[in-house]
Amino acid sequence: MLSDGMLDYFALGVLCFVVVVLFYGIIVLHDIPYEIARQRNHPHQDAIHAAGWVSLFTLHALWPFLWIWAMLYREDRGWGFGVPKSDLQRQLADLQSRLRQLEDAQASGTAQER
């Protein structure tokens, strides 16, 4: 059987282990938005990292906003608002070809009137 003194040391060891795990767990938790931003090559990843450290002092009240901020940006589509660049380029090419057709039709119509 373990004596009372041994149980006290075991309890102290468990308490220290739990405190260390909680300490590092909170640090890992606050770094999640920064890691997302880093993987997505976010242009504001340094600001997200700094705000993550600030959120430690606000009991992680800022953390959900940092997570959203980090998730908004993707390198392939930017901020995700509007039409992707490839669609815009295709639409521009279509409009330019239609404009050329209209100009050609107008030019040939003007030539026929003469």
Please indicate, yes or no, if residue 14 is contained in any of the structural domains: no
Please indicate, yes or no, if residue 52 is contained in any of the structural domains: no
Please indicate, yes or no, if residue 105 is contained in any of the structural domains: yes
Q: Are 40 and 73 in contact (CB under 8 A)?
A: yes
pTM, entire model: 0.61
pLDDT for 82 = 64
pLDDT for 2 = 66
Q: Tell me how many domains the chain contains.
A: 1
The tokens for 38 are 């880093």
Please indicate, yes or no, if residue 96 is contained in any of the structural domains: yes
Q: pLDDT of the chain along its 114 residues, tens only?
A: 567 788 899 999 999 999 999 999 988 888 999 999 999 999 999 999 999 999 988 888 999 999 999 999 988 777 777 656 677 788 899 999 999 999 998 888 776 665
pLDDT for 113 = 65
Please indicate, yes or no, if residue 41 is contained in any of the structural domains: no
Residue 74: what are its φ and ψ, rounded to 5°?
-135, 140
What is the distance between the alpha carbons of residues 15 and 9, in angstroms, rounded to a whole number?
10
